[in-house]
Chain A
Amino acid sequence: MGLLDKLDKFSSNRHITSIIYIFSVGFFLIIVFLPPLLGILMKWSSIFQIFHQPELLARAQSAIFASFAIALGVSALDIVAGLPLAWLIARQSTKKYVSILDTMADIPFVIPTVALGYSVLLFWSREGISAFTDHVLLSPGWMLIAVLHFAFSYPVVVRVMVGALQDYERTLEVAARTLGASPFTAIRTVSLSVLKPSLVSSFILAFARSLSETGATVMVAGTFENGTVFIKNASDAGLVSPLVYVSFVLIVTSTLIFVTIQVLGPKLRIPVTKVWPNLEKLLSISNVTRSRDLLTLVVFLFFVIIPSLFVALPGMKALSDGTLGQAVSGSGVWATYWKAIGLSYLVAFLATLLNVVTGLPLSILIARKRVRTLESTILDAAVNVPIIVPSIALGVSLRLFWGGLAIPEFWILVLSHTTVTYTYFVRSMISALQRTPPELEEVARTLGGKPLTVFRKITISLTKYSMISGIVMAFTRSVDETGATLAVSKQFKTAPVLLVDWVKGTVPVSPSAIGLGVGILVLTSFISLLAFKLASRRAH
């Protein structure tokens, strides 16, 4: 009897499957869900000290306000500017230039946010576009933070909306047209209402991303502070009370906002009863739509694509001025750099592995409602917590929690990356499982398949694509992670954390070295993505 046969036989033992499910829920609660909350609660007593320091309190509060104001404004702009591009990609997909646009929209995903931050900083500075003007167009501060956040959250909205538009039954819109609605009216009153759930979820994703981002934000903030920058500064200065206070407020407020959107989102109705036929007809004529498309492309190129790729320029310079040689030989700062890159990938690998092993049973539990509906709904919502909580606040809490338990710092780092990336894999698996009809598995069972055989031959085969993309998302997010890493580790520096130090000038490094360092990070993450893509193609 082979090992597979033995495992197969085990899999139909209900006690064993129950143990696996219980373990996965236990892991989720103890490693992912509770530590971010418990860490803060453990330091609850210190939180009140900040109220005796009015100046610090005022600084903390304006930082928190800035975080939410920027996140709200940026995600609203994302929707306004992202929807037309998504529309263009989904509806004109036969045109050649549109498929190029489609690929281009993914570029900011491939570039780690710290690299993106440096790139944006460079693009708007004297070295970039401001070389052609009298004064620097955008210097570090809240405007540059907003522009940066727009650059990395915009593709999220585009991706989600393109997917939704491709699934959307266009006949509904056609029916509205034949009933006398102009294209604009049909889209506004019918299509947008149907697409509302995707609009809401893309808004949430963009919002959470903006609220949470730390590494790149620190690079472009200058003296300005939003919540995450404040936490970083407080952490560097060794201030505990403000750290706990801001983390607590960010965690609680973002959770509340998220729950509110979840609850109110479905009730919110896009107004459909009022129609302005003449105005909306005017908005539908081809000159207007063409100008709209043109404006969309200008925004896309000028605020997203070019700033994202700008980092390539100093990287190029590094190829000729000898920096490359130093890098390859690993002399000076490069020794630490390569160590950091190695560490980044090792941590990402371990965190992703933990997520897949423990996340798969949990996804099945939730998607297949192996527990009662109420419990699976609660678990389903709880899985989102790691992405809506700002990662640096989460990191602070994790450090306070795990630090108290005398666990080696390396494992604290791995566990916090597991927490931060947990949602990506599990969410992706849950929705893939929900799209796969359970009858297929049931029929396979009655046809003689043991649970493991059914899982291998039917479930995995049908969810393979989502599984791989979940792994890719978790992995790249981990390589990219800065906020939580800054908060939890003093001794270990991953590549993005190191690059933040370089850009901030904590370690003296030449601009071309920074360019090359960032470039290598982009290149390695691009190669790992490509490897995953090839693997998934072979798996198809």
Chain B
Amino acid sequence: MPSIQMTNVTKRFKDIQALDRVSLNIQNGEYVCILGPTGSGKTTLLRLIAGLTSPDSGKLTIDERPVDTLEPEDRGVAYVPQQYALFPHLTVLENVAFSPLARGHGRSEAYETARKVLRMVKLASREGALPHELSGGMQQRVALARGIASGASLLLLDEPLGALDARLRMELRIELRRMMKNLSLTVIHVTHDQEEAMTIADTIVVLKDGTVQQIGSPFHIYQDPTSIFVANFVGGSNFLPGVVAKTERAASIVELSEGIRIRVVDRSYHRGESVIVTVRREATTLTSHANAKENGVPARVKNVSFLGSFVEYGAVLDNRETVISKIPTSLVADSRLPFEIDDRVFVIMNPEDCKLFSSPPLGLANDLETF
């Protein structure tokens, strides 16, 4: 099983810095998700590892062996691009047997391998079909089978679930992870869907504008984002600009505009510094009566969306900032929603759930861009 090491890998296409000094360390048998918005350099990263493009500078090793002189066919990786790139003129069986045949195995041996893998992905009955005769979900499984049958122990999946409908996508996430773990494969899975990355990965690498923003387990990244971008892109948060007004023994008091004060259990900034207070949407609640200790900030309900398991409220503070609050439906006791549009409420943001970041030099909007 391979391990992959990337050190300061940089790649530029004309005016676009696709990757900027990217360093990564991927262990044997690890399931890694590369998560980032469109144009963040995810696909370029995969293509570099596959050997389909070469880095401008930096070092890439697979199993501690430098691979820059190795052709794609000699790297022992299987690349599954977006939309799968199934060979349209070959049947399902021939597609899956392509790699064993190309590596010089005899026909009967190659077909046997292919049939075994097809049984594994439950497509044995469709081995004679052509790719266009299959549904999107089946095509996805053929592409996976083709990668697996190549005998590569490293699979590179580019948005493998992107072309499927929402429900199938959710079912296949778990299925995909289970299969890869059973086969003890190392997987690098590129996606822009943070929920998908959270459910499937051992490790998430968050990428933006070709630079690594954060690397960690899904839980770690959700609980402890190290930047405004990650806090926003993974999970979704509220962002309130303010100035540190006072530091106490265990907390800081941040003053937002219009004199709104919020207590935060974070003392890493000095008095007078510009900061952004962040708090997860699901960590806030709305009440109809004040409680200053809990950071109860007066607001007016602007919109209500019922999302099934959650109710999402948008509440406008007196300084016109909006706070979004996600409340589990199970906590809504009554048979009707507790608040309606234009109700006066208090937004509760627990000081332990609030985090501080220094105010970004290019403005908050720049860091919140996710496209």
Contact = CB atoms under 8 A, between A and B. Distances in A.
Interface in A424-451: 437, 439-440, 442-450
Interface residues of A, number: 20
Contact of B72 (A439, A442, A453): A442
Contacts of A457: 98, 102
A453 B147 CA distance: 18
19 contacts: A437-B85, A439-B85, A442-B50, A442-B85, A444-B98, A445-B51, A445-B52, A446-B51, A446-B152, A447-B73, A447-B98, A447-B146, A448-B99, A448-B150, A449-B73, A449-B98, A450-B71, A457-B98, A462-B88
Interface string B120-159: 0000000000000000000000000011001010001000
A373 B156 CA distance: 28
B75 interface: yes
Contacts of B150: 446-448
A449 B81 contact: no
Contacts of B152: 446
Interface string B96-120: 0011001110000000000000000
A442 B104 CA distance: 18
A406 B168 CA distance: 72
A447 B85 contact: no
B102 A442 contact: no
A449 to B, nearest CB: 4
Contacts of A76: none
Contacts of B50: 442, 446
A446 B51 CA distance: 8
B79 A446 contact: yes
Contacts of B83: 439
B110 to A, nearest CB: 11
B87 interface: yes
A234 interface: no
Contacts of B52: 442, 445-446
Contacts of A454: 102
A11 to B, nearest CB: 10
A439 B53 CA distance: 12
Given A446-B52, A462-B89, 9 more contacts: A439-B81, A440-B87, A442-B50, A442-B81, A445-B72, A446-B77, A447-B146, A458-B87, A462-B88
A458 B86 CA distance: 11
Contacts of B85: 437, 439-440, 442-443
Contacts of A458: 87
Nearest to A464: B89
A448 B72 CA distance: 7
Contacts of B147: 447
Closest 5 CB pairs of A and B: A447-B99, A449-B102, A445-B72, A439-B85, A446-B79
Contacts of B146: 447
Interface of B: 50-52, 71-73, 75, 77-81, 83, 85, 87-89, 98-99, 102-104, 146-147, 150, 152, 156
A326 interface: no
Contacts of A166: none
Contact of A450 (B73, B75, B79, B88): B73
B103 A444 contact: no
A461 interface: yes
Contacts of A444: 87, 98, 102
B102 A447 contact: yes
A448 B71 contact: no
Nearest to B89: A461
A237 to B, nearest CB: 56
B141 to A, nearest CB: 16
Interface string A447-482: 111100110011001100000000000000000000
B87 A453 contact: no
Nearest to B105: A448
Nearest to A437: B85
Nearest to B99: A447
Nearest to A453: B102
A12 B146 CA distance: 22
A450 B78 contact: no
Contacts of A453: 102
A446 B102 contact: no
Contacts of B73: 12, 445-450
Contacts of A5: 104
A447 B78 contact: yes
A447 B90 CA distance: 15
B75 to A, nearest CB: 7
A462 B88 CA distance: 8
A214 B88 CA distance: 44
Contacts of A439: 81, 83, 85
Contact of B102 (A440, A448, A461, A462): A448
A361 B184 CA distance: 41
Contacts of A442: 50, 52, 72, 79, 81, 85
A104 B85 CA distance: 38
A12 B72 CA distance: 10
A453 B98 CA distance: 10
Nearest to A454: B102
A448 B146 CA distance: 12
Contact of A446 (B72, B87, B89, B104): B72
A450 B102 contact: yes
B111 to A, nearest CB: 15
Nearest to A462: B89
A448 B103 contact: yes
Contacts of A437: 85
Contacts of A440: 85, 87
Contacts of A450: 71, 73, 102
A446 B75 contact: yes
Q: Among B75, B85, B103, B146, which residue has the most Cβ atoms of chain A within 10 A?
A: B85
Q: Among A12, A445, A448, A454, which residue has the most Cβ atoms of chain B within 10 A?
A: A448
B274 to A, nearest CB: 45
Contacts of B81: 439, 442-443
Nearest to A13: B71
B102 A443 contact: no
